[in-house]
């Protein structure tokens, strides 16, 4: 859709997001508003085929299962360019990371002589093995790995030799990788610095040094904001949130797992809907559709059907167009706020290294007070504080003086006029 003239315009998207009439919403990195066609799709489910998936034999049960499969299909193909059979539906990015951290710590089970039996684990943990992540990660890409390292007595290593712009460089990663590195986890784009990391080059370089190192990418700020092709990136796992870039509802997300690996993973949740057989002694998980063995229990059908529609919606805008517009908005904001006396900007100042995230502080203001002032007087909604990345904020050195920083984050529907208003407001607060 990217090149087509009938892509959704900024005005059309703003008309689909009523909140834009009342507020200047600049907190898209936390969660985005949901456009009306996505809301309507969820309403359609609630009104017309509100049944459970893959369970009933009656007509609306078939309809909901079809919609459910279509949603997974479109999310996989449009947002990640992967086979839907390799896309696990999740609640968010956080659950995606936890699914992988659990599976790498616990062997898959199989059935032998009508008894459960452990298969070989994906990682045979040995003393001195390493799990590596970076100082600029969100807590969701630190805590699950810290706990896994603790349980497996592995070395937990955090890459810190990064430039203060927060960019994850191939050189810095390579300095921290060895033949003992079992897992590397790092982000595609940063919610604190706005950096877009060269994921493909980093993965290629790491796999050359250590082909067995499994690589997890936190894509929370990726799909929906830019074109993503997970197979081309070469990662083993890629998690994302549905309620950020894709403009989907909260409580949705996904996890891509590479083809040869997904069969070797044990789901951390077990229950209904994922089995071929259960007796008093064993259970046998379905193998016909690898991602679906992670769907234990009745899932968030409403939200995930909404996410499918959201994937179609952002594709109608065009993912390349979204990325380009966010970069242009970012470039404009950076050039304007850098002129304000007392403003300190974090992350790269070159918009081509960035997604639509800008963080800063204003001398004399704590990050929270500044955020409150922008809302109270101008209805400009920003985010202040640690952005769920305390180690990153401490490493940046803005903990004591500002209690974090202020973040303005865009999506396609934000405008240059909204930025001009925010810049004017900041000028008044700075004087
Ligand atoms: C880079 C990054 N990772 C992880 C997360 C966590 O996402 P979720 O709360 O949807 O699990 C976020 C949320 O802001 C994020 O920006």
What is the CA(229)–ligand 1 centre distance, in A?
Answer: 19
Q: Which of 388, 390, 411 to mutate to test the pocket of ligand 1 (most atoms within 8 A of CB)?
A: 388
Residue 144 CA to residue 142 CA, distance in Å, equals: 6
| Active-site hit among 50, 213, 371, 388 | 388
Measured by CA distance, the residue closest to atom 16 of ligand 1 is 191
Are the beta carbons of 166 and 136 closer than 8 angstroms?
yes
Indicate which atom in ligand 1 lies nearest the CA of residue 96. 11
What is the CA(140)–ligand 1 centre distance, in A?
Answer: 7
- Please tell me what DSSP assigns to residue 89: E
Indicate which atom in ligand 1 lies nearest the CA of residue 94. 11
- Asked whether the predicted pLDDT for residue 4 surpasses 80, the reply is no
Burial class (CB in 10 A: 0-12, 13-18, 19+), 324: middle
DSSP secondary structure string for all residues of 342-373: TEEEES-S-GGGB-SEEEEEETT--HHHHHHH
Please indicate whether residue 371 is annotated as part of the active site. Answer: no
As a dihedral over the C-alpha atoms of residue 101, residue 103, residue 104, residue 108, rounded to 10 degrees, the angle is 170
Residue 224 CA to residue 241 CA, distance in Å, equals: 10
Indicate which atom in ligand 1 lies nearest the CA of residue 93. 11
CB hemisphere CA count around 375 (13 angstroms): 15
Q: Which two tokens stand for residue 294?
A: 């992670």
- Sequence ranges of the domains in the chain: 10-35+318-430, 47-315
- Asked whether the predicted pLDDT for residue 1 surpasses 50, the reply is no
Residue 104 CA to residue 133 CA, distance in Å, equals: 15
What is the CA(29)–ligand 1 centre distance, in A?
Answer: 8
* Ramachandran sector of residue 194 (left: φ over 0; alpha: ψ -120 to 50; beta: rest): left
Indicate which atom in ligand 1 lies nearest the CA of residue 218. 3
Task: Report the predicted TM-score, pTM, of the whole model to 2 decimal places.
Answer: 0.97
Beta strands in 219-263 (DSSP E): 237-241, 253-257
Please name the residue that has the structure tokens 């004017």. 424
Neighbours of 139 (CB within 10 A): 17
The predicted-structure confidence for 388-411, as pLDDT tens digits, reads as follows 999 999 999 998 889 999 999 999
Residue 86 CA to residue 104 CA, distance in Å, equals: 17
Measured by CA distance, the residue closest to atom 12 of ligand 1 is 220
Q: For residue 409, give Cα distances in angstroms to 31, 174, 192, 343, 419.
A: 10, 30, 10, 17, 11
Task: Tell me what pLDDT residue 2 has.
Answer: 47
What is the CA(371)–ligand 1 centre distance, in A?
Answer: 20
CATH topology of domain 47-315: 3.40.640
Q: Which two tokens stand for residue 371?
A: 């955020």
Task: Tell me what pLDDT residue 374 has.
Answer: 98
The predicted-structure confidence for 212-262, as pLDDT tens digits, reads as follows 999 999 999 999 999 999 999 999 999 999 999 999 999 999 999 999 999
The predicted-structure confidence for 132-181, as pLDDT tens digits, reads as follows 999 999 999 999 999 999 999 999 999 999 999 999 999 999 999 999 99
Size of the chain, expressed as the number of residues it contains:
431
Decide if domain 10-35+318-430 falls under CATH 3.30.300.30.
Answer: no
Per-residue pLDDT averaged across 307-313, rounded? 98
- Asked whether the predicted pLDDT for residue 284 surpasses 60, the reply is yes
Measured by CA distance, the residue closest to atom 14 of ligand 1 is 30
Per-residue pLDDT averaged across 361-378, rounded? 97
Residue 376 CA to residue 369 CA, distance in Å, equals: 10
Per-residue pLDDT averaged across 203-207, rounded? 98
The predicted-structure confidence for 110-133, as pLDDT tens digits, reads as follows 999 999 999 999 999 999 999 999
Q: What is the mean pLDDT of the chain?
A: 96
Q: Which two tokens stand for residue 189?
A: 């784009």
Task: Tell me what pLDDT residue 5 has.
Answer: 63
Per-residue pLDDT averaged across 85-89, rounded? 98
Q: Which two tokens stand for residue 153?
A: 């007595």
Q: How confident is the model at residue 352 (pLDDT cuts 50, 70, 90)?
A: confident
Ligand 1 environment, Cβ below 6 A = 29-30, 92-94, 138, 140-141, 187, 191, 218, 220-221, 241
- The residues with which 134 forms a beta bridge, in sequence order, are 159
Q: Which of 143, 221, 383 to mutate to test the pocket of ligand 1 (most atoms within 8 A of CB)?
A: 221
SS3 110: strand
The predicted-structure confidence for 171-196, as pLDDT tens digits, reads as follows 999 999 999 999 999 999 999 999 99
Neighbours of 276 (CB within 10 A): 12
Indicate which atom in ligand 1 lies nearest the CA of residue 387. 14
- The residues with which 354 forms a beta bridge, in sequence order, are 195
What is the CA(16)–ligand 1 centre distance, in A?
Answer: 25
What is the CA(269)–ligand 1 centre distance, in A?
Answer: 21
- Asked whether the predicted pLDDT for residue 36 surpasses 90, the reply is yes
Burial class (CB in 10 A: 0-12, 13-18, 19+), 154: buried
């Amino acid at each position: 859709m990217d090149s087509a003239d009938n892509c959704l315009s900024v005005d059309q998207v703003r008309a689909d997001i009523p909140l834009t009439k009342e507020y200047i919403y600049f907190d898209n990195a936390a969660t985005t508003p949901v456009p009306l066609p996505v809301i309507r799709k969820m309403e359609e489910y609630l009104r017309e085929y509100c049944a459970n998936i893959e369970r009933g034999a009656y007509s609306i049960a078939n309809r909901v299962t079809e919609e459910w499969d279509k949603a997974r299909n479109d999310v996989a193909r449009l947002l990640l360019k992967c086979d839907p059979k390799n896309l696990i539906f999740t609640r968010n990015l956080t659950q995606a990371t936890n699914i992988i951290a659990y599976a790498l710590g616990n062997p898959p089970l199989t059935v032998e002589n009508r008894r459960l039996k452990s298969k070989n684990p994906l990682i045979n943990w040995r003393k001195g093995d390493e799990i590596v992540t970076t100082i600029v990660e969100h807590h969701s890409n630190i805590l699950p790995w810290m706990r896994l390292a603790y349980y497996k007595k592995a070395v937990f290593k955090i890459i810190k030799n990064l430039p203060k712009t927060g960019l994850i460089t191939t050189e810095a990663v390579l300095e921290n990788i060895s033949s003992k590195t079992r897992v590397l986890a790092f982000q595609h784009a940063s919610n604190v610095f706005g950096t877009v990391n060269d994921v493909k080059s980093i993965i290629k370089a790491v796999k050359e040094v250590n082909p067995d190192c499994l690589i997890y990418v936190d894509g929370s700020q990726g799909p929906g904001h830019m074109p993503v092709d997970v197979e081309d990136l070469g990662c083993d796992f890629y998690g994302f949130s549905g309620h950020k870039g894709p403009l989907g509802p909260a409580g949705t997300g996904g996890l891509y797992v590479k083809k040869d690996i997904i069969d070797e993973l044990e789901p951390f949740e077990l229950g209904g809907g994922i089995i071929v057989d259960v007796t008093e002694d064993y259970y046998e998980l379905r193998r016909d559709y690898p991602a679906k063995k992670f769907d234990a229990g009745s899932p968030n059908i409403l939200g995930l059907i909404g996410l499918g529609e959201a994937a179609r919606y952002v594709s109608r805008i065009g993912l390349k167009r979204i990325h380009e517009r966010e970069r242009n908005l970012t470039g404009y904001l950076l050039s304007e706020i850098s002129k304000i006396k007392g403003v300190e900007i974090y992350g790269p100042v070159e918009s081509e290294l960035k997604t639509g995230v800008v963080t800063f502080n204003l001398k004399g203001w704590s990050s929270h007070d500044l955020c409150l002032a922008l809302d109270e007087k101008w209805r400009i909604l920003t985010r202040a504080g640690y952005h769920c990345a305390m180690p990153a904020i401490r490493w940046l050195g803005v903990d004591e003086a500002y209690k974090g920083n202020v973040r303005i984050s865009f999506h396609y529907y934000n405008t240059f006029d909204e930025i001009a208003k925010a810049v004017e407001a900041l000028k008044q607060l700075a004087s």
